[in-house]
Amino acid sequence: MHRFRAVISILCVRLLIVPAFAQQTHSIVEPGGSFGWITGRYRTKQVPPINVANSGRLELLLRAGRLYLSMQDSIALALENNLDIEIQRYGPEIADAQVLRARAGGFAQGVSTSVTAGPTSAQSGGVAQSGVSGNPSTQASAASATAVGNTVITQSGPAIPSFDPALVGSANWAHQTIPESSTFIAGVDELIQRQDTSGFTYQQGFQSGTSVSLGLNNSTSIGNSSTTLFNPVTSSSLGLTVTQHLLQGFSLAVNQRQIQIAKNNRELSDLTFKLQVITTVAAVMDLYWDLVTFNENVRVEQQAVATSTKLFEDNQKQVEAGMMAPIEVVRAEAQLATDQQNLTLAETQLLQQETILKNALSRTGVASPAVAEARIVPTDRIRVPDVEPVTPMQDLVAMALSARPELAQNRIQVTNQEITLHGSKNGLLPTLDLVASMTNNALAGQVNTVQSTFPFSFGTPSPAFIGGYGEVLKQLFAHNYPNYSAGFNLTIPLRNRAAQAQAINDELTLRQLQLGLQRLENQVRVDVLNATIGVRNARAQYQAAMKARILQERTLDAEQKKYAAGASVIYNVILTQRDLATARQSELAAEASYAKSKVELERVTGQTLNNNGISLGEAFQGVVSRPASSLPATDQPGQ
């Protein structure tokens, strides 16, 4: 018995000491002041305000009203300044807060898995359209490019105890004046009594399904009763109660399920951030290659205007010399007007594309006059290799299945649902609790000196009870007057329909998620196949368009020579010029389609970050260590 008392005493002391240290380890509150280690637990962590300043890289690339951009600079600026990525940086931090909540015994809340689709290029009509633009492979995989919605955590299964210890205190003061109908009990006909009560209780739950409560209660009373042995008198009790779940709510796996789900959601937030980076980078790369194409298109239209202008001027001279009918000047002038209109549309599309790209690479968009007025000069060009590297389809599919963040997200959600189902199955069990308690009692006070009106005595006070609160504490820790109890509490729901329904619902939800994962894996295979077909088709279109452009240039040269020799008419020359401009535009479109098909193939195989040298850590910090590209000494011809 004495050994049991010693063990209980050591347990009580440890329970009082542990929380003072345990809470410092997991607290995310930034303490402040001399007593921050105490008060910091009851104040929120200060979150820095948002940063809307652009990185210094943008200023380094600006010179003389022009923004010189390579593809790598565009990617770096997107990682540093894009607001879609910046918004997504808060996701892992929110998930960290949910882990902290779960460690305290609370239910973890869901996290966002939504990503923002990247900006799209300006259209020929002058309006940027939403959605996916580009090649057929991009359109085929649009359904799986973005994960939308939030993870939903069902709060099913047995309740989880609070793992954060709590100290509950109380203090009460009372004064009573009670008229008595008989003087036998109190010895007076008007009982006047003052009673002071105080106490505190330490409570904590553990992941094993154990709950501990340690409480100290004190009661002091003083009055005018002549029948009590002590006046004033203090009674105290120090009790320890331990409750252990034996069926429902038992085991570490059941009580740690929300912690594990919260940790999985933390990984899910990282994957969502990665998916946002991939989505934004792929969109910026498409914007950049379209910008290159639009620049080339402006040059094509300028060449068409220059050719039409020369033809118009030559025809005017021949009409003035009487060698040509005036109607030929009208036809040449009409073609010149058409080419000038096409040039205006091409320049408008280019300006809009620059605006869209600058908005994607700047935190403040075009609010800065220096950025808004700067013309973008792309320093990279689309290159179609002579030989296309060939990777076996099974290797591409395996690469995509292991690297696509969407698949990893769905796998985590399946795992979370399996954990939830384990908890709901445990909730089907009856409730059986082992309850054990030990209470030490104490009593001390002063001998009652109130004169008794009774002719007989109510007894002689024991000297062991005479004293103050020190005597009370001495009795408590000496275990002079202990009480022990142990027992079981059993609750058996006779029909248990609510728990049955919850378990069925969770298992059906698990089956849906498993099928959804299989559907996504099938879609990933389709995405890889379509992207591969898209690259192959885009390359074939480019080769055909390049050959058509070369042949059309020869045709125009031959037609112009025939016209100069008088063997052709101006109408044929104009038609040939139109065909050449169309052939050049088709070649540019085929080049852009090829470049964007390569971007899409990288995205669907999950290789966007690897192939472009992107560090996910740098993306999360918003600081790219790679220096900005050196600016050209002078503008290149045609830029």
Q: What does the pLDDT read at residue 69? A: 94
Helix and strand counts by DSSP (H, E) for the chain:
19, 9
Mean pLDDT value across residues 113-123: 90
Q: What does the pLDDT read at residue 257? A: 93
Is residue 510 within 8 A of residue 396, CB to CB? The reply is no
- Write the pLDDT tens digit of every residue in 198-217: 999 999 999 999 999 999 99
Is residue 172 within 8 A of residue 188, CB to CB? The reply is no
The band of 126, judged by pLDDT with boundaries at 50, 70 and 90, is very low
Asked if residue 1 has pLDDT above 60, the reply is: no
Query: Which residues, other chains included, contact 542 with Cβ-Cβ below 8 Å and sequence gap of 6+?
Result: 384, 587, 590, 591, 593, 594
Asked if residue 222 has pLDDT above 50, the reply is: yes
Q: What does the pLDDT read at residue 449? A: 78
The band of 139, judged by pLDDT with boundaries at 50, 70 and 90, is very low
d(CA 189, CA 621): 80
Asked if residue 146 has pLDDT above 50, the reply is: no
Mapping DSSP to helix (H, G, I), strand (E, B) and coil, where does residue 236 land? strand
pLDDT above 90: percentage of residues in the chain: 57
Beta strands in 91-245, from DSSP E residues, in sequence order: 166-179, 190-205, 210-223, 230-245
| Average pLDDT of the chain to the nearest whole number | 85
Out of 6-15, 124-133, 593-602, the most confident range is: 593-602
* Angle formed at CA 538 by CA 76 and CA 521, multiple of 5 degrees: 70
Mean pLDDT value across residues 266-282: 96
| Exposed e or buried b per residue across 205-226, where buried means at least 16 C-beta atoms within 10 angstroms of its C-beta | bebbbbbbbbbbbbbbbbbebb
SS3 sequence, 469-495?
Answer: HHHHHHHHHHCCEEEEEEEEEEECCCC
pLDDT above 70: percentage of residues in the chain: 86
Q: What does the pLDDT read at residue 358? A: 95
Place of tokens 């990682």: 79
Integer distance in angstroms from the first to the last C-alpha of the chain?
Answer: 94
Mapping DSSP to helix (H, G, I), strand (E, B) and coil, where does residue 454 land? coil
Strand-pairing partners, residue 69, are 378
Mapping DSSP to helix (H, G, I), strand (E, B) and coil, where does residue 62 land? strand
The band of 288, judged by pLDDT with boundaries at 50, 70 and 90, is very high
Beta strands in 246-353, from DSSP E residues, in sequence order: none
d(CA 304, CA 327): 21
Is residue 258 within 8 A of residue 102, CB to CB? The reply is yes
- Write the pLDDT tens digit of every residue in 411-435: 999 999 999 999 999 999 999 999 9
Place of tokens 């503008």: 635
Q: pLDDT higher for 529 or 124?
A: 529
Asked if residue 149 has pLDDT above 60, the reply is: no
d(CA 336, CA 347): 16
Q: pLDDT higher for 513 or 44?
A: 513
d(CA 34, CA 581): 77
Q: What does the pLDDT read at residue 34? A: 63
CA-closest candidate to residue 11, choices 403, 438, 367, 365: 438
Mean pLDDT value across residues 545-567: 88
Q: What does the pLDDT read at residue 186? A: 67
Is residue 429 within 8 A of residue 251, CB to CB? The reply is no
Q: How many CA atoms lie within 13 A of 475 on its CB side?
A: 24
The band of 380, judged by pLDDT with boundaries at 50, 70 and 90, is very high
Lowest mean pLDDT among 172-176, 386-390, 537-541: 386-390
Asked if residue 559 has pLDDT above 90, the reply is: no
Is residue 364 within 8 A of residue 52, CB to CB? The reply is yes
Q: What does the pLDDT read at residue 46? A: 80
Two structure tokens written together for 313: 């001027």
Q: What does the pLDDT read at residue 18? A: 39
Out of 28-32, 154-158, 254-258, 323-327, the most confident range is: 254-258
Mapping DSSP to helix (H, G, I), strand (E, B) and coil, where does residue 77 land? helix
Is residue 286 within 8 A of residue 134, CB to CB? The reply is yes
Mapping DSSP to helix (H, G, I), strand (E, B) and coil, where does residue 433 land? strand
pTM: 0.84
Is residue 634 within 8 A of residue 91, CB to CB? The reply is no
- Write the pLDDT tens digit of every residue in 71-110: 999 999 999 999 999 999 999 999 999 999 999 998 888 8
Polymer length in residues for the chain: 639
Residue type for position 21? F
- Write the pLDDT tens digit of every residue in 28-72: 445 556 666 677 777 777 888 888 899 989 989 998 889 999 999
For 36, 43, 99, 138, the CA distances from 31, given in Å and listed in that order, are 4, 8, 20, 50
- Express the helix, strand and coil content of the chain in percent, nearest 5 each: 55, 15, 30
Is residue 404 within 8 A of residue 601, CB to CB? The reply is no
Torsion of CA 443, 445, 449, 450, to 10 degrees: -60
Q: What does the pLDDT read at residue 153? A: 63
Q: What does the pLDDT read at residue 429? A: 95
CA-closest candidate to residue 368, choices 130, 45, 54: 54
- Write the pLDDT tens digit of every residue in 471-508: 999 999 888 899 999 999 999 999 999 999 999 999 99
Residue 441: burial class (beta carbons within 10 Å; 0-12, 13-18, 19+): middle
Is residue 339 within 8 A of residue 304, CB to CB? The reply is yes
Beta strands in 355-430, from DSSP E residues, in sequence order: 375-378
Residue type for position 593? S
Q: What does the pLDDT read at residue 519? A: 96
Cα radius of gyration (the chain): 41
Out of 6-15, 93-102, 309-318, the most confident range is: 93-102
For 16, 103, 213, 547, the CA distances from 165, given in Å and listed in that order, are 10, 12, 10, 78
Q: What does the pLDDT read at residue 88? A: 94
Strand-pairing partners, residue 435, are 243, 487
Q: What does the pLDDT read at residue 99? A: 93
CA-closest candidate to residue 414, choices 261, 583, 229: 261
Two structure tokens written together for 353: 């594309």
The band of 24, judged by pLDDT with boundaries at 50, 70 and 90, is very low
Q: Is the dihedral angle over the CA atoms 157, 161, 162, 168 positive or is it negative?
A: positive
Asked if residue 436 has pLDDT above 60, the reply is: yes
The secondary element (H helix, E strand) that includes residue 352 is helix 327-360
Two structure tokens written together for 215: 């409480």
The band of 373, judged by pLDDT with boundaries at 50, 70 and 90, is very high
